[in-house]
Amino acid sequence: MKKTLLIISVLVFGLMSTVHAGEDAAKKSERSKRPKLTAEQQALRKQLIEKYDTDKNRRLNKAERAKMSEEDARKWKSVSAPAKSKAAADAQKSKE
């Protein structure tokens, strides 16, 4: 009985690990779809972070982004916008 329970728990654990690994791969593929920033965009992003990052964690949180000027907010969007899915891009085009 103990052997059977041990075998079942090992199989369940192995299955759960496999599913989790698949989720990690999906997240990595999403990140790889983002366009690479040019050197100019990277420099602009660094400048904006230095200017607005009050907690010095090298990331801009919601409160820090809210304090941006409109011009800097537009610049920020141009260098940090996440990749859109095809469906989201099509929806955006249909609105225009």
Residue 60 located in a structural domain: yes
Number of domains forming the structure of the chain: 1
Q: Which two tokens stand for residue 52?
A: 């607005």
Write the pLDDT tens digit of every residue in 1-15: 888 877 888 777 776
pTM over 0.75: no
Q: Distance between CA 54 and CA 88 in Å, rounded? A: 33
Write the pLDDT tens digit of every residue in 17-38: 766 666 666 666 666 677 788 8
Q: Give the count of beta carbons closer than 10 Å to the beta carbon of residue 36.
A: 7
- The answer to whether the CB of 48 falls within 8 A of the CB of 60 is yes
Residue 73 located in a structural domain: yes
Residue 26 located in a structural domain: no
